[in-house]
């Protein structure tokens, strides 16, 4: 099969519980940054959402909405939540030929949502990641967070990129960062774009530095374009020639911040695949992220191509 983009990583179900602010049963302590709930209490909810999520799935949906033929290389189980994932992928018209359907349960993330803040509880089902890289052709691979035993898949992706001269975008996950940047350093010379937030950038570089110094240090690892997001401060980038860029945050109402980084990446990549400049790509990414955090969950606010084009 031939695709525009293959995204490789996790797919899961995001369950968002909207905690009620009534009766003082839930208390947020701004000094300790803690949410306090009494044991044994019955807490009313203002509502809940059950959605497909995961970095790779979010970017696959985002790029499909902008008109690109995207395929998701990930794994699902055999439970009812897996059925919802398959239904949602079909609804979004994301290609599923590379999706593995195994045994066991689906990975799950439960978010407690309270006054525009959240606490996440996550469970990642262990998988073998036995992906077949011989069955497809693609213009771009987007490689992102994957569970334990991730290294063989990353090496297969690197071999594919070298053999087919495919574009490679990368956003490391928490497990990869815990294993250390040296464990995935073989990717850096192959990367077209590296997506990180400031905390991730500091973990890769190994120290806290001013944003511009972080960009330069990352760019020197492989001469790729680096995009660094920094929450309220906006987004920064440096290209392979050392040219720096800045995009301020787009003002918007904040409902929930899950998936903002994935939305930025999918907007940026959509623009890049359409041969837009890095400046325009950052604007695409910023508007996509702003739209997502104005909705509950990582995918409801992802923009269509026409919406992004109008933002220019």
pLDDT 10s digits, 175-211: 999 999 999 999 999 999 999 999 999 999 999 999 9
Provide the whole-model pTM: 0.92
Distances (CA, A) of 152 to 146, 220, 261, 286: 11, 25, 25, 33
d(CA 245, CA 126): 39
Can you give the three-state secondary structure of 197-266, one letter per residue? EHHHHHHHHCCCCCHHHHHHHHHCCCCCEEEEECHHHCEEEECCCCCEEEECCCCCCCCCCCCHHHHHHH
d(CA 174, CA 227): 18
Lookup: tokens for 167: 């574009």
- Per DSSP, 128 falls in state -
Between 278-293 and 260-273, two packed helices, what is the crossing angle to 10 degrees? 150
> In this structure, are residues 247 and 264 in contact, taking their beta carbons and an 8 Å threshold?
no
Lookup: tokens for 194: 């590296």
d(CA 285, CA 267): 4
Give pLDDT, residue 23: 62
Which are the contacts of 208, defined by CB distance < 8 A and separation ≥ 6?
Answer: 202
Lookup: tokens for 263: 């939305």
Lookup: tokens for 181: 């940047």
Give pLDDT, residue 245: 97
User: Comparing C-alpha atoms, which of 123, 92, 103, 154 is closest to residue 299?
Assistant: 92
pLDDT tens, position by position, for the chain (312 residues)? 999 999 999 999 999 898 887 767 888 887 888 888 888 888 888 888 899 999 999 999 999 999 999 999 999 988 999 999 999 999 999 999 999 988 888 888 898 888 777 788 888 888 888 899 998 999 999 999 998 889 999 999 999 999 999 999 999 999 999 999 999 999 999 999 999 999 999 999 999 999 999 999 999 999 899 999 998 999 999 998 899 999 999 988 888 788 899 999 999 999 999 999 999 999 999 999 999 998 888 899 999 989 888 877
> In this structure, are residues 86 and 96 in contact, taking their beta carbons and an 8 Å threshold?
yes
> In this structure, are residues 111 and 119 in contact, taking their beta carbons and an 8 Å threshold?
yes
d(CA 242, CA 237): 9
Q: Which value, to the nearest 10 degrees, does the dihedral of the CA atoms of residues 106, 109, 110, 111 take?
A: -160
User: Comparing C-alpha atoms, which of 236, 233, 239 is closest to residue 285?
Assistant: 236
Using DSSP's 3-state secondary structure scheme, residue 56 falls into helix
Distances (CA, A) of 10 to 147, 167, 244, 308: 7, 20, 31, 26
Buried/exposed 297-306: b ≥16 CB within 10 Å, e otherwise: bbbebbbebe
pLDDT 10s digits, 17-28: 988 877 678 888
Domains plus CATH for the chain?
2-11+53-106+125-311 (3.40.1190.20)
């Amino acid at each position: 099969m031939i695709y525009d983009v293959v995204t490789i990583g996790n797919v899961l179900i995001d369950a968002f519980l909207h905690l009620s602010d009534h009766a003082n049963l839930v208390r947020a302590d701004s000094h300790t940054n803690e949410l306090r709930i009494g044991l044994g209490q019955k807490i009313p909810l203002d509502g809940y959402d059950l959605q497909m999520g995961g970095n790779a799935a979010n970017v696959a949906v985002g790029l499909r909405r902008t008109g690109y033929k995207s395929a998701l290389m990930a794994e699902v189980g055999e439970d009812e939540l897996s059925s919802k994932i398959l239904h949602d992928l079909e609804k979004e018209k994301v290609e599923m030929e590379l999706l593995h359907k195994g045994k066991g349960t689906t990975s799950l993330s439960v978010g407690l949502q309270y006054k525009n803040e959240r606490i996440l509880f996550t469970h990642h089902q262990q998988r073998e990641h036995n992906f077949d890289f011989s069955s497809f052709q693609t213009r771009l691979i987007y490689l992102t967070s994957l569970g334990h035993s991730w290294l063989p898949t990353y090496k297969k992706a690197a071999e594919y990129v070298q053999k087919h001269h495919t574009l490679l975008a990368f956003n490391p996950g928490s497990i990869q960062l815990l294993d250390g940047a040296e464990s995935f350093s073989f990717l850096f010379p192959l990367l077209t774009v590296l997506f990180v937030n400031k905390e991730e950038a500091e973990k890769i570089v190994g120290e806290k530095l001013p944003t511009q110094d972080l960009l330069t240090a990352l760019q020197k690892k492989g001469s790729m374009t680096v995009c660094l997001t920094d929450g309220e401060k906006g987004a920064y980038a440096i290209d392979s020639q050392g040219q720096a860029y800045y995009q301020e945050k787009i003002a918007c109402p904040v409902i929930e911040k899950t998936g903002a980084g994935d939305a930025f990446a999918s907007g940026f990549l959509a623009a890049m695949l359409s041969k837009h400049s890095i400046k325009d790509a950052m604007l695409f990414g910023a508007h996509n992220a702003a739209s997502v955090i104005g909705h509950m969950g990582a995918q409801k606010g992802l923009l269509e191509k026409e919406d992004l084009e109008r933002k220019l």
